[in-house]
Amino acid sequence: MRPPAYQLLADELRADITSGRLQPGERLPPEPELCVKTGVSRSTVREALRLLASQHLIVTTRGVTGGSFVAHPDAEQLADGLAAGFTLLTNSADVDLADLLELRRALEVPAAGLAAARRTEEHLIEIRGALFDPDLDDFETKMAAHAAFHMAVAKATGNPLFELVVRPLYHAQFGADVTANLPADYWTRIDADHRAMIDCITARDVESARRTASSHLDYVGSSTRERQIMPQYGG
């Protein structure tokens, strides 16, 4: 079945954007010009532009100088789309706990080392700001803090691709019951690991940062695998 005309136009414009033929900040042709060029109606053009805007690929403004412009890449916005994909996969039979832990290890161990090598004082402030109190904070606060911690470490790598890929791990929604059966000292150990990573990153000790991150994930994996809880929760 042939896709609708607006989808075909959106695909064509998306290809121009993702290939670099249209650069961030560059203005797309006006709607009347797109109509003539593609042979579709103005309503079809507008539907295609709405679709691209919903995917954070373009920004449309009004007024005399308005129009549709290629959006500047933003890791947080782009990660929203990836989070939906992570949710679908992790709630399917195709992805298990070992797969998720393997991905975390592939991302977070090198990220800790890069953060130690490249962090700024501003990065350290953000990472430290993501600490929590394992005894006083409630479950939701600890969950939000641990997500902020790992995203801050990814940001400290100075490589926006790490931030883009790590963010969906902590924004996706999963069906597992994450409140049950965790070890009694689980959050105390998670907090201690986070603080140890901060010490390594502060000291610019790349190898120790990597080892600490790896040991941290070993603990998360052993604690969650035994209890069948998603390993990206907590830690």
The CATH number linked to 29 is: 1.10.10.10
Same domain, 80 and 175: yes
Alpha helices in the chain (DSSP H): 5-18, 31-38, 42-54, 75-90, 97-118, 121-128, 139-156, 160-171, 186-202, 206-225
Same domain, 84 and 50: no
Domain range for 60 is: 5-70
Q: How far apart are CA 163 and CA 76, in angstroms?
A: 8
Specify whether the CB–CB gap between 34 and 52 falls below 8 A: no
Tokens matching residue 213:
């991150």
Same domain, 129 and 92: yes
Band of residue 230 on the pLDDT scale cut at 50, 70, 90? very low
Last residue of a domain, one of 46, 70, 94: 70
Same domain, 194 and 145: yes
CATH, residue 165: 1.20.120.530
Last residue of a domain, one of 39, 70, 101: 70
Lowest mean pLDDT among 44-53, 109-118, 119-128: 44-53
- Is residue 231 situated within a structural domain? no
- Is residue 232 situated within a structural domain? no
* Mean pLDDT over each residue of the chain, to the nearest integer: 85
- Is residue 230 situated within a structural domain? no
* Each residue's pLDDT tens digit, 117-146: 999 999 999 999 999 999 999 988 998 899
Same domain, 182 and 98: yes
Residues in the chain: 235
Count of domains for the chain: 2
pTM of structure: 0.69
Q: How far apart are CA 103 and CA 105, in angstroms?
A: 5
* Each residue's pLDDT tens digit, 168-197: 777 655 444 444 577 889 999 999 999 999
Q: What is the pLDDT of residue 171?
A: 67
Tell me how far CA of residue 201 lies from CA of 28, 76, 128, in angstroms: 43, 23, 11
Cα–Cα nearest to 109, from 2, 209, 228, 230: 209
Tokens matching residue 209:
């940062």
Q: How far apart are CA 86 and CA 145, in angstroms?
A: 20
**CB-based contacts of 103: which residues, under 8 Å, 6+ apart?**
169
Same domain, 102 and 215: yes
